[in-house]
Amino acid sequence: MVSRNKIFKYLFLTFISFFALFLTTKQSVYSCEIEFEILGKKKETYKSGDIIVVKVKVIYTHRVCTETIKSTKFNTNGGKILKATKWKETSTNVWERKLKLEVIGNKDGKLNLVAVRTCDKTGGFGSIDIDIEKIE
């Protein structure tokens, strides 16, 4: 016969194992993952007037989306979008484009670029903060 202590120990270790697995598994709450990467020479801090090229990658995690990739909206604080390439599907359900940004500055010292996708599922959201000189 198995003792209560052994059963408790087994249940406790099983629970801890599942909890650890849950914590280490990357789970997205959105239907799309949105990633950013600064291209070219990177600086610690950018100045007003500097040009930054950012690659945006959208990954459809639910495979089929009712919204087109063109419905992705961008917002900036501390910078403005000068140009953007067309979206290109680099592999199945993975889309990329490049954005050319000009730093205009703000009081926070951060250029914030946000991408938002809205759909009948959970949509997508991604952002990047880039250090810039503060404007008083």
Q: Cα(93)–Cα(81) distance, rounded to whole angstroms?
A: 25
Would you state the pLDDT for residue 10? 66
Confidence (pTM): 0.75
Would you state the pLDDT for residue 11? 63
Residue (of 55, 52, 54, 56) closest to 102 by Cα position: 52
| Domains of the chain, residue spans | 32-131
Distance from first CA to last CA of the chain, Å, rounded?
Answer: 75
CB-based contact 39:51 (threshold 8 Å): no
**SS3 (DSSP) at 13:** helix
Which residues are 131's β-sheet partners?
110
Q: Cα(132)–Cα(109) distance, rounded to whole angstroms?
A: 5
**SS3 (DSSP) at 6:** helix
CB-based contact 98:39 (threshold 8 Å): yes
Tens-level pLDDT at each residue, the chain (136 residues): 667 777 666 666 666 665 555 554 444 466 789 999 999 999 999 999 999 999 999 998 877 777 889 999 999 999 999 999 999 999 999 999 999 999 999 999 999 999 999 877 777 899 999 999 998 7
Q: Can you name the CATH fold of 32-131?
A: Immunoglobulin-like (2.60.40)
